[in-house]
Protein backbone atom coordinates (compact mmCIF):
# COMPACT_ATOMS: atom_id res chain seq x y z
CA UNK A 1 0.00 0.00 0.00
CA UNK A 2 1.17 3.55 -0.74
CA UNK A 3 0.27 5.26 2.52
CA UNK A 4 0.57 2.33 4.94
CA UNK A 5 3.53 0.10 5.67
CA UNK A 6 4.67 -2.39 8.28
CA UNK A 7 8.22 -1.02 8.27
CA UNK A 8 9.55 0.66 11.39
CA UNK A 9 12.70 2.75 11.86
CA UNK A 10 14.25 -0.10 13.86
CA UNK A 11 13.66 -2.58 11.03
CA UNK A 12 15.61 -0.52 8.49
CA UNK A 13 19.20 -1.42 7.74
CA UNK A 14 21.72 1.39 7.18
CA UNK A 15 21.65 0.65 3.43
CA UNK A 16 17.87 0.97 3.37
CA UNK A 17 18.09 4.27 5.26
CA UNK A 18 20.55 5.56 2.68
CA UNK A 19 18.26 4.49 -0.19
CA UNK A 20 15.35 6.21 1.56
CA UNK A 21 17.38 9.44 1.79
CA UNK A 22 18.30 9.11 -1.90
CA UNK A 23 14.59 9.00 -2.67
CA UNK A 24 13.81 11.96 -0.44
CA UNK A 25 16.67 14.00 -1.88
CA UNK A 26 15.53 13.20 -5.44
CA UNK A 27 12.06 14.49 -4.57
CA UNK A 28 13.46 17.60 -2.87
CA UNK A 29 15.61 18.13 -5.97
CA UNK A 30 12.37 17.95 -7.96
CA UNK A 31 11.14 21.20 -6.40
CA UNK A 32 14.53 22.91 -6.79
CA UNK A 33 14.92 21.80 -10.41
CA UNK A 34 11.48 22.93 -11.54
CA UNK A 35 11.94 26.34 -9.89
CA UNK A 36 15.32 26.91 -11.55
CA UNK A 37 14.30 25.60 -14.97
CA UNK A 38 11.05 27.54 -14.70
CA UNK A 39 12.91 30.83 -14.16
CA UNK A 40 14.77 30.17 -17.42
CA UNK A 41 11.57 29.25 -19.26
CA UNK A 42 9.28 31.98 -17.90
CA UNK A 43 10.12 34.65 -20.52
CA UNK A 44 9.10 32.21 -23.27
CA UNK A 45 6.00 31.11 -21.34
CA UNK A 46 4.94 34.76 -20.94
CA UNK A 47 5.53 35.29 -24.66
CA UNK A 48 3.08 32.46 -25.40
CA UNK A 49 0.33 33.12 -22.82
CA UNK A 50 0.75 36.86 -22.12
CA UNK A 51 0.67 38.65 -18.76
CA UNK A 52 4.10 40.28 -18.64
CA UNK A 53 2.78 42.79 -16.08
CA UNK A 54 2.38 39.89 -13.63
CA UNK A 55 5.87 38.52 -14.24
CA UNK A 56 7.13 38.87 -10.66
CA UNK A 57 3.83 37.72 -9.14
CA UNK A 58 4.34 34.26 -10.64
CA UNK A 59 7.36 33.83 -8.37
CA UNK A 60 5.55 35.46 -5.47
CA UNK A 61 2.61 33.02 -5.73
CA UNK A 62 4.96 30.08 -5.32
CA UNK A 63 6.87 31.69 -2.46
CA UNK A 64 3.69 32.83 -0.67
CA UNK A 65 2.12 29.36 -0.75
CA UNK A 66 5.35 27.81 0.47
CA UNK A 67 5.80 30.36 3.28
CA UNK A 68 2.23 29.90 4.55
CA UNK A 69 2.30 26.09 4.69
CA UNK A 70 5.92 25.72 5.90
CA UNK A 71 5.35 26.47 9.63
CA UNK A 72 2.45 23.99 9.92
CA UNK A 73 3.95 21.05 8.01
CA UNK A 74 5.90 19.80 11.02
CA UNK A 75 2.77 19.85 13.16
CA UNK A 76 0.74 18.04 10.48
CA UNK A 77 3.41 15.36 10.18
CA UNK A 78 3.20 14.82 13.94
CA UNK A 79 -0.59 14.44 13.73
CA UNK A 80 -1.06 12.41 10.54
CA UNK A 81 2.32 10.73 10.07
CA UNK A 82 5.55 11.58 8.24
CA UNK A 83 5.08 8.92 5.57
CA UNK A 84 1.57 10.04 4.62
CA UNK A 85 2.41 13.73 4.42
CA UNK A 86 5.67 13.17 2.53
CA UNK A 87 4.02 11.02 -0.15
CA UNK A 88 1.15 13.52 -0.51
CA UNK A 89 3.65 16.37 -0.94
CA UNK A 90 5.53 14.47 -3.64
CA UNK A 91 2.31 13.57 -5.48
CA UNK A 92 1.16 17.21 -5.36
CA UNK A 93 4.38 18.29 -7.10
CA UNK A 94 4.29 15.50 -9.69
CA UNK A 95 0.61 15.86 -10.62
CA UNK A 96 0.71 19.67 -10.75
CA UNK A 97 3.81 19.59 -12.95
CA UNK A 98 2.16 17.12 -15.30
CA UNK A 99 -0.99 19.24 -15.56
CA UNK A 100 0.70 22.66 -15.86
CA UNK A 101 1.66 22.46 -19.57
CA UNK A 102 -1.68 20.80 -20.38
CA UNK A 103 -4.02 23.23 -18.63
CA UNK A 104 -2.21 26.57 -18.41
CA UNK A 105 -3.58 28.99 -20.99
CA UNK A 106 -3.15 32.34 -19.20
CA UNK A 107 -1.04 33.95 -16.48
CA UNK A 108 -3.67 33.39 -13.79
CA UNK A 109 -3.62 29.63 -14.36
CA UNK A 110 0.15 29.72 -14.17
CA UNK A 111 0.12 31.52 -10.82
CA UNK A 112 -2.36 29.00 -9.43
CA UNK A 113 -0.27 26.01 -10.49
CA UNK A 114 2.94 27.57 -9.21
CA UNK A 115 1.17 28.15 -5.89
CA UNK A 116 0.12 24.49 -5.75
CA UNK A 117 3.70 23.44 -6.52
CA UNK A 118 4.84 25.67 -3.67
CA UNK A 119 2.58 23.75 -1.28
CA UNK A 120 3.95 20.39 -2.42
CA UNK A 121 7.54 21.62 -2.41
CA UNK A 122 7.27 22.96 1.15
CA UNK A 123 5.74 19.73 2.46
CA UNK A 124 8.41 17.61 0.78
CA UNK A 125 11.34 19.76 1.94
CA UNK A 126 10.25 20.18 5.57
CA UNK A 127 9.20 16.56 6.15
CA UNK A 128 12.30 15.32 4.33
CA UNK A 129 14.50 17.30 6.74
CA UNK A 130 12.55 16.02 9.75
CA UNK A 131 12.97 12.40 8.62
CA UNK A 132 16.75 12.81 8.87
CA UNK A 133 16.38 13.36 12.63
CA UNK A 134 13.90 10.48 12.89
CA UNK A 135 16.13 7.77 11.42
CA UNK A 136 19.73 8.90 12.10
CA UNK A 137 21.80 9.66 15.16
CA UNK A 138 23.40 13.08 15.63
CA UNK A 139 26.64 12.18 13.82
CA UNK A 140 24.89 10.87 10.70
CA UNK A 141 22.45 13.79 10.65
CA UNK A 142 25.36 16.13 9.96
CA UNK A 143 26.54 14.00 7.03
CA UNK A 144 23.16 13.84 5.32
CA UNK A 145 22.37 17.50 5.95
CA UNK A 146 25.67 18.21 4.20
CA UNK A 147 24.35 16.32 1.18
CA UNK A 148 21.17 18.40 1.43
CA UNK A 149 23.32 21.51 1.02
CA UNK A 150 24.87 19.92 -2.05
CA UNK A 151 21.42 19.66 -3.68
CA UNK A 152 21.27 23.38 -4.41
CA UNK A 153 24.73 23.12 -5.95
CA UNK A 154 23.63 20.30 -8.26
CA UNK A 155 20.68 22.43 -9.29
CA UNK A 156 22.96 25.40 -9.98
CA UNK A 157 25.11 23.22 -12.25
CA UNK A 158 22.42 21.32 -14.17
CA UNK A 159 19.11 23.15 -14.15
CA UNK A 160 19.89 26.38 -16.06
CA UNK A 161 21.51 24.49 -18.92
CA UNK A 162 18.79 21.83 -19.11
CA UNK A 163 16.03 24.43 -18.95
CA UNK A 164 17.70 26.53 -21.64
CA UNK A 165 18.08 23.54 -23.98
CA UNK A 166 14.42 22.56 -23.67
CA UNK A 167 13.19 26.11 -24.20
CA UNK A 168 15.51 26.80 -27.14
CA UNK A 169 15.28 23.50 -29.03
CA UNK A 170 11.93 21.97 -27.99
CA UNK A 171 9.28 23.88 -26.01
CA UNK A 172 8.78 25.22 -22.50
CA UNK A 173 6.32 22.39 -21.83
CA UNK A 174 9.25 19.97 -21.53
CA UNK A 175 10.62 21.91 -18.57
CA UNK A 176 7.81 20.31 -16.55
CA UNK A 177 7.78 16.90 -18.28
CA UNK A 178 11.56 16.44 -18.08
CA UNK A 179 11.74 16.22 -14.30
CA UNK A 180 8.96 13.64 -13.89
CA UNK A 181 11.39 10.65 -14.16
CA UNK A 182 13.42 12.10 -11.26
CA UNK A 183 10.29 12.46 -9.14
CA UNK A 184 8.95 9.01 -9.98
CA UNK A 185 12.25 7.36 -9.07
CA UNK A 186 12.36 9.28 -5.79
CA UNK A 187 8.73 8.38 -5.05
CA UNK A 188 9.52 4.69 -5.64
CA UNK A 189 12.29 4.73 -3.01
CA UNK A 190 10.12 6.64 -0.55
CA UNK A 191 7.17 4.23 -0.90
CA UNK A 192 9.46 1.21 -0.64
CA UNK A 193 11.61 2.26 2.33
CA UNK A 194 9.82 5.03 4.25
CA UNK A 195 8.89 3.57 7.66
CA UNK A 196 5.77 4.28 9.69
CA UNK A 197 6.93 6.76 12.35
CA UNK A 198 4.66 6.91 15.45
CA UNK A 199 2.25 9.84 15.49
CA UNK A 200 1.82 12.22 18.39
CA UNK A 201 -1.52 11.58 20.06
CA UNK A 202 -1.36 14.86 21.97
CA UNK A 203 -1.07 17.15 18.92
CA UNK A 204 -3.88 19.35 17.66
CA UNK A 205 -4.09 22.00 14.97
CA UNK A 206 -4.02 25.60 16.17
CA UNK A 207 -6.48 27.02 13.61
CA UNK A 208 -6.52 30.47 15.16
CA UNK A 209 -2.72 30.67 15.20
CA UNK A 210 -2.49 29.42 11.60
CA UNK A 211 -5.00 32.05 10.44
CA UNK A 212 -3.19 34.92 12.17
CA UNK A 213 0.23 33.75 11.00
CA UNK A 214 -0.99 33.34 7.40
CA UNK A 215 -2.41 36.86 7.51
CA UNK A 216 0.91 38.24 8.76
CA UNK A 217 2.81 36.40 6.01
CA UNK A 218 0.48 37.70 3.29
CA UNK A 219 0.80 41.29 4.58
CA UNK A 220 4.59 40.90 4.67
CA UNK A 221 4.59 39.57 1.09
CA UNK A 222 2.40 42.47 -0.01
CA UNK A 223 4.82 44.96 1.59
CA UNK A 224 7.94 43.38 0.09
CA UNK A 225 6.34 42.85 -3.33
CA UNK A 226 4.74 46.26 -3.89
CA UNK A 227 6.81 48.44 -1.56
CA UNK A 228 8.86 50.98 -3.50
CA UNK A 229 7.23 49.98 -6.81
CA UNK A 230 3.43 50.10 -6.88
CA UNK A 231 3.23 51.73 -3.43
CA UNK A 232 5.85 54.31 -2.29
CA UNK A 233 7.67 53.33 0.91
CA UNK A 234 6.74 56.54 2.73
CA UNK A 235 3.10 56.62 1.58
CA UNK A 236 0.19 56.46 4.03
CA UNK A 237 -0.85 53.08 2.58
CA UNK A 238 2.58 51.53 3.16
CA UNK A 239 2.90 52.93 6.67
CA UNK A 240 -0.58 51.58 7.46
CA UNK A 241 0.41 48.13 6.17
CA UNK A 242 3.53 48.15 8.35
CA UNK A 243 1.46 49.09 11.42
CA UNK A 244 -1.04 46.32 10.64
CA UNK A 245 1.81 43.83 10.20
CA UNK A 246 3.34 44.72 13.57
CA UNK A 247 -0.08 44.49 15.24
CA UNK A 248 -0.75 41.12 13.61
CA UNK A 249 2.59 39.74 14.83
CA UNK A 250 1.80 40.98 18.34
CA UNK A 251 -1.62 39.31 18.23
CA UNK A 252 -0.02 36.10 16.96
CA UNK A 253 2.46 36.04 19.87
CA UNK A 254 -0.37 36.52 22.37
CA UNK A 255 -2.38 33.74 20.72
CA UNK A 256 0.58 31.36 20.92
CA UNK A 257 0.99 32.08 24.62
CA UNK A 258 -2.64 31.12 25.23
CA UNK A 259 -2.78 28.15 22.84
CA UNK A 260 -2.69 24.65 24.33
CA UNK A 261 -0.81 23.32 21.29
CA UNK A 262 0.67 26.37 19.46
CA UNK A 263 1.73 26.19 15.83
CA UNK A 264 5.06 27.82 16.78
CA UNK A 265 5.80 27.04 20.44
CA UNK A 266 7.36 30.14 21.93
CA UNK A 267 9.60 28.05 24.20
CA UNK A 268 11.73 27.37 21.08
CA UNK A 269 12.98 30.93 21.39
CA UNK A 270 14.44 30.09 24.80
CA UNK A 271 17.21 28.21 22.98
CA UNK A 272 20.09 30.49 22.02
CA UNK A 273 21.16 28.17 19.23
CA UNK A 274 17.66 28.29 17.69
CA UNK A 275 17.48 32.10 17.67
CA UNK A 276 20.96 32.60 16.23
CA UNK A 277 20.40 29.95 13.54
CA UNK A 278 17.20 31.71 12.46
CA UNK A 279 18.97 35.08 12.30
CA UNK A 280 21.92 33.58 10.44
CA UNK A 281 19.94 31.63 7.87
CA UNK A 282 17.76 34.68 7.13
CA UNK A 283 20.86 36.88 6.73
CA UNK A 284 22.64 34.37 4.48
CA UNK A 285 19.56 33.90 2.28
CA UNK A 286 19.26 37.69 1.99
CA UNK A 287 22.82 37.98 0.68
CA UNK A 288 22.73 34.82 -1.47
CA UNK A 289 19.45 35.86 -3.11
CA UNK A 290 20.82 39.35 -3.71
CA UNK A 291 23.87 38.01 -5.54
CA UNK A 292 22.02 35.34 -7.52
CA UNK A 293 19.29 37.76 -8.64
CA UNK A 294 21.38 40.84 -9.39
CA UNK A 295 24.94 39.73 -10.18
CA UNK A 296 24.04 38.22 -13.61
CA UNK A 297 22.31 41.45 -14.62
CA UNK A 298 25.32 43.59 -13.71
CA UNK A 299 27.77 41.19 -15.34
CA UNK A 300 25.87 41.53 -18.62
CA UNK A 301 24.74 45.16 -18.55
CA UNK A 302 27.72 46.77 -16.85
CA UNK A 303 30.67 44.50 -17.61
CA UNK A 304 29.58 43.31 -21.06
CA UNK A 305 29.64 39.54 -20.46
CA UNK A 306 27.28 37.39 -22.54
CA UNK A 307 24.45 35.34 -20.95
CA UNK A 308 26.43 32.18 -21.73
CA UNK A 309 29.51 33.52 -19.94
CA UNK A 310 27.37 34.60 -16.99
CA UNK A 311 25.89 31.11 -16.79
CA UNK A 312 29.37 29.61 -16.78
CA UNK A 313 30.47 31.79 -13.87
CA UNK A 314 27.51 30.56 -11.81
CA UNK A 315 28.25 26.99 -12.89
CA UNK A 316 31.78 27.35 -11.49
CA UNK A 317 30.21 28.42 -8.21
CA UNK A 318 27.93 25.39 -8.34
CA UNK A 319 30.82 22.95 -8.79
CA UNK A 320 32.78 24.07 -5.71
CA UNK A 321 29.51 24.46 -3.81
CA UNK A 322 28.61 20.82 -4.41
CA UNK A 323 32.04 19.53 -3.32
CA UNK A 324 32.34 21.58 -0.15
CA UNK A 325 28.72 21.14 0.91
CA UNK A 326 29.11 17.35 0.83
CA UNK A 327 32.49 17.46 2.60
CA UNK A 328 31.20 19.83 5.31
CA UNK A 329 28.75 17.20 6.57
CA UNK A 330 31.60 14.79 7.32
CA UNK A 331 33.65 17.56 8.95
CA UNK A 332 30.76 18.53 11.25
CA UNK A 333 30.18 14.86 12.10
CA UNK A 334 33.86 14.49 12.99
CA UNK A 335 33.93 17.66 15.11
CA UNK A 336 30.48 16.96 16.60
CA UNK A 337 29.95 20.72 16.44
CA UNK A 338 28.66 22.91 13.62
CA UNK A 339 29.96 26.27 14.79
CA UNK A 340 33.48 26.26 13.35
CA UNK A 341 32.27 25.20 9.89
CA UNK A 342 29.54 27.87 9.97
CA UNK A 343 32.00 30.61 10.98
CA UNK A 344 34.52 29.67 8.27
CA UNK A 345 31.76 29.55 5.62
CA UNK A 346 30.43 32.98 6.63
CA UNK A 347 33.93 34.48 6.57
CA UNK A 348 34.55 33.11 3.05
CA UNK A 349 31.16 34.37 1.87
CA UNK A 350 31.74 37.84 3.33
CA UNK A 351 35.22 37.91 1.76
CA UNK A 352 33.81 36.97 -1.66
CA UNK A 353 31.28 39.81 -1.53
CA UNK A 354 33.92 42.27 -0.33
CA UNK A 355 36.23 41.23 -3.19
CA UNK A 356 33.50 42.15 -5.69
CA UNK A 357 33.37 45.71 -4.29
CA UNK A 358 36.82 46.37 -5.82
CA UNK A 359 35.39 45.88 -9.33
CA UNK A 360 32.85 48.67 -9.72
CA UNK A 361 33.68 49.64 -13.30
CA UNK A 362 35.45 46.67 -14.92
CA UNK A 363 36.38 43.10 -14.10
CA UNK A 364 38.37 40.39 -15.90
CA UNK A 365 37.16 36.90 -16.67
CA UNK A 366 39.86 35.46 -14.42
CA UNK A 367 38.84 37.66 -11.49
CA UNK A 368 35.11 36.87 -11.63
CA UNK A 369 35.85 33.16 -12.18
CA UNK A 370 38.10 33.10 -9.10
CA UNK A 371 35.55 34.94 -6.97
CA UNK A 372 32.75 32.59 -8.02
CA UNK A 373 34.87 29.51 -7.30
CA UNK A 374 35.73 30.84 -3.82
CA UNK A 375 32.12 31.90 -3.21
CA UNK A 376 31.02 28.36 -4.08
CA UNK A 377 33.10 26.86 -1.28
CA UNK A 378 30.76 28.56 1.19
CA UNK A 379 27.37 28.76 -0.55
CA UNK A 380 26.45 25.07 -0.41
CA UNK A 381 27.57 24.86 3.22
CA UNK A 382 25.43 27.83 4.24
CA UNK A 383 22.30 26.22 2.76
CA UNK A 384 22.31 23.46 5.37
CA UNK A 385 24.71 24.29 8.20
CA UNK A 386 22.12 26.10 10.34
CA UNK A 387 19.63 23.26 9.88
CA UNK A 388 22.44 21.02 11.11
CA UNK A 389 22.99 23.25 14.14
CA UNK A 390 19.34 22.99 15.14
CA UNK A 391 19.16 19.23 14.61
CA UNK A 392 22.36 18.65 16.58
CA UNK A 393 21.44 20.84 19.56
CA UNK A 394 17.68 20.97 20.08
CA UNK A 395 15.76 18.24 21.92
CA UNK A 396 14.36 15.67 19.47
CA UNK A 397 10.76 16.53 20.40
CA UNK A 398 11.20 20.09 19.09
CA UNK A 399 12.99 19.36 15.81
CA UNK A 400 9.92 18.79 13.61
CA UNK A 401 8.47 22.23 14.42
CA UNK A 402 11.89 23.90 14.32
CA UNK A 403 12.52 22.67 10.76
CA UNK A 404 9.32 24.32 9.59
CA UNK A 405 10.20 27.61 11.29
CA UNK A 406 13.72 27.76 9.86
CA UNK A 407 12.37 27.16 6.34
CA UNK A 408 9.99 30.06 6.90
CA UNK A 409 12.95 32.33 7.73
CA UNK A 410 14.68 31.14 4.54
CA UNK A 411 11.70 32.49 2.59
CA UNK A 412 11.64 35.74 4.59
CA UNK A 413 15.32 36.37 3.84
CA UNK A 414 14.72 35.92 0.11
CA UNK A 415 11.69 38.23 0.16
CA UNK A 416 13.64 40.96 1.92
CA UNK A 417 16.43 40.74 -0.64
CA UNK A 418 14.27 40.96 -3.74
CA UNK A 419 12.34 43.98 -2.43
CA UNK A 420 14.95 46.03 -0.58
CA UNK A 421 17.94 45.47 -2.88
CA UNK A 422 15.78 46.15 -5.90
CA UNK A 423 15.56 49.79 -4.78
CA UNK A 424 19.21 50.29 -5.71
CA UNK A 425 18.44 49.47 -9.35
CA UNK A 426 16.79 52.88 -9.64
CA UNK A 427 20.14 54.59 -9.28
CA UNK A 428 21.04 56.36 -12.52
CA UNK A 429 24.67 55.33 -12.00
CA UNK A 430 24.61 51.55 -12.50
CA UNK A 431 28.04 51.15 -10.94
CA UNK A 432 26.95 52.98 -7.78
CA UNK A 433 23.78 50.90 -7.56
CA UNK A 434 25.81 47.70 -7.77
CA UNK A 435 28.16 48.96 -5.04
CA UNK A 436 25.21 49.69 -2.75
CA UNK A 437 23.87 46.16 -3.26
CA UNK A 438 27.26 44.60 -2.53
CA UNK A 439 27.94 46.68 0.59
CA UNK A 440 24.43 45.96 1.91
CA UNK A 441 24.91 42.20 1.44
CA UNK A 442 28.39 42.40 2.96
CA UNK A 443 27.07 44.33 5.97
CA UNK A 444 24.27 41.82 6.58
CA UNK A 445 26.65 38.84 6.44
CA UNK A 446 29.23 40.57 8.66
CA UNK A 447 26.58 41.50 11.22
CA UNK A 448 25.30 37.90 11.34
CA UNK A 449 28.86 36.59 11.69
CA UNK A 450 29.68 38.90 14.62
CA UNK A 451 26.42 38.06 16.43
CA UNK A 452 26.92 34.34 15.76
CA UNK A 453 30.40 34.36 17.33
CA UNK A 454 29.31 36.54 20.26
CA UNK A 455 26.21 34.53 21.15
CA UNK A 456 27.37 30.95 20.57
CA UNK A 457 30.34 30.87 22.87
CA UNK A 458 32.10 27.60 23.60
CA UNK A 459 29.54 25.71 25.66
CA UNK A 460 27.71 22.42 25.38
CA UNK A 461 24.73 23.73 23.43
CA UNK A 462 22.87 20.44 23.32
CA UNK A 463 23.14 19.92 27.08
CA UNK A 464 21.97 23.50 27.56
CA UNK A 465 19.02 22.95 25.21
CA UNK A 466 18.06 19.67 26.88
CA UNK A 467 18.15 21.38 30.27
CA UNK A 468 15.99 24.23 28.97
CA UNK A 469 13.58 21.70 27.45
CA UNK A 470 13.24 19.85 30.76
CA UNK A 471 12.67 23.16 32.53
CA UNK A 472 9.94 24.19 30.08
CA UNK A 473 8.29 20.77 30.33
CA UNK A 474 8.34 21.03 34.11
CA UNK A 475 6.79 24.50 34.01
CA UNK A 476 4.02 23.32 31.70
CA UNK A 477 3.39 20.40 34.05
CA UNK A 478 3.05 22.77 36.98
CA UNK A 479 0.60 24.94 35.05
CA UNK A 480 -1.53 21.91 34.22
What is the CATH number assigned to the segment(s) 265-471?
1.20.1250.20
Q: Which residues contact 307 (CB under 8 A, 6 or more apart)?
A: 296, 300
The answer to whether the beta carbons of residues 389 and 158 sit under 8 Å apart is no
The domains of the chain are located at: 8-196, 206-262, 265-471
Q: What pTM was estimated for this model as a whole?
A: 0.81
Q: Which residues contact 286 (CB under 8 A, 6 or more apart)?
A: 413, 414, 416, 417, 441, 444
Give the residue among 188, 10, 196, 9 at the shortest CA–CA distance from 85.
196
Count CB neighbours of 230 within 10 A.
Answer: 10
Count CB neighbours of 214 within 10 A.
Answer: 18
Count CB neighbours of 382 within 10 A.
Answer: 27
pLDDT digits (tens, 9 = 90+) for 278-295: 999 999 999 998 888 778
Percentage of the chain exceeding pLDDT 90: 28
- Where is pLDDT greater, at 232 or 457? 232
Alpha carbons 190 and 90: distance in angstroms, whole number: 10
| pLDDT band (50, 70, 90) for residue 471 | low
Count CB neighbours of 202 within 10 A.
Answer: 9
pLDDT digits (tens, 9 = 90+) for 59-112: 778 878 888 888 888 888 888 888 999 999 999 999 998 899 888 889 899 999
Q: Nearest 5 degrees, angle CA 86-CA 89-CA 91?
A: 110
| pLDDT band (50, 70, 90) for residue 472 | low
The answer to whether the beta carbons of residues 444 and 286 sit under 8 Å apart is yes
Asked which of 103-112, 114-123, 311-320, 442-451 is least confident by mean pLDDT, the reply is 311-320
Alpha carbons 77 and 363: distance in angstroms, whole number: 49
What is the CATH number assigned to the segment(s) 8-196?
1.20.1250.20
- Residues across the chain: 480
Amino acid sequence: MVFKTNRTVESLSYKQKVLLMVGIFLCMELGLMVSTEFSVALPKIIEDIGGVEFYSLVFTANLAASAIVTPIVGKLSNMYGRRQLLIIGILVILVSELLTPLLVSNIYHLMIFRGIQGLGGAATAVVGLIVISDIFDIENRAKFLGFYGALSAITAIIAPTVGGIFVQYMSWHWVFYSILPVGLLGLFFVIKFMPEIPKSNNSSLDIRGITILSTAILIFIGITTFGGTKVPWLSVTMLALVVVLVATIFIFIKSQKKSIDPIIPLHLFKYRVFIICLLSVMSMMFAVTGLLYFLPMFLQNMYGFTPTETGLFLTYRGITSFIFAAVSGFVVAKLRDFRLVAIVAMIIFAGSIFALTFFTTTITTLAITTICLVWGTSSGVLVSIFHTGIQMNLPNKDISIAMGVIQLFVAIGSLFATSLLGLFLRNADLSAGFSYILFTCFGVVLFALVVFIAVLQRRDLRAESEAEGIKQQSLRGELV
